[in-house]
A and B are shown apart, each in its own frame.
Chain A
Amino acid sequence: GQQVMQIPQYQHVQEGEDFTTYCNSSTTLSNIQWYKQRPGGHPVFLIQLVKSGEVKKQKRLTFQFGEAKKNSSLHITATQTTDVGTYFCAAPRSYNTDKLIFGTGTRLQVFP
Chain B
Amino acid sequence: DGGITQSPKYLFRKEGQNVTLSCEQNLNHDAMYWYRQDPGQGLRLIYYSQIVNDFQKGDIAEGYSVSREKKESFPLTVTSAQKNPTAFYLCASSRDRASNQPQHFGDGTRLSIL
Binding site for B on A (CB under 8 A): 30-31, 33, 41-45, 48, 50, 88, 90, 92, 94-100, 102-105, 107
- Which B residue's beta carbon lies closest to that of A30? B99
Bound form: Cα–Cα A44–B16 in Å:
34
Contact A98 B90 (CB under 8 A): no
Q: In the complex, how many residue pairs between chain A and chain B have their CB atoms under 8 Å apart?
A: 58
A99 in contact with B48 given A41-B107, A42-B107, A48-B102 (CB within 8 Å): yes
Contact A88 B48 (CB under 8 A): no
Q: Is chain B's interface secondary structure helix, strand, loop, or mixed overall?
A: loop
A98 in contact with B42 given A42-B107, A45-B102, A45-B104 (CB within 8 Å): no
Contact with A along B76-114 (1 / 0, CB 8 A): 000000000000001010101111111111111000000
Contact B105 A44 (CB under 8 A): yes
CB-defined contacts of A96 to chain B, threshold 8 Å: 99
Contact A88 B43 (CB under 8 A): yes
Q: Write the nearest CB–CB distance from A16 to chain B, whole angstroms.
A: 26
B2 in the interface, Cβ–Cβ < 8 Å? no
Q: Write the nearest CB–CB distance from B96 to chain A, whole angstroms.
A: 7
**A-B pairs with lowest CB-CB distance, top 6:** A92-B99, A45-B102, A42-B105, A102-B43, A98-B97, A102-B42
Knowing that A42-B106, A98-B97, A98-B98 are A-B contacts, what are 6 other residue pairs whose CB atoms are under 8 Å apart, sorted by A's residue number?
A31-B100, A42-B105, A96-B99, A99-B45, A104-B41, A105-B42
Residue of B50, B58, B99, B100 ringed by the most chain A CB atoms within 10 A: B99
Residues facing A in B10-69 (CB within 8 A) are 31, 33, 35, 40-43, 45, 48, 50, 58
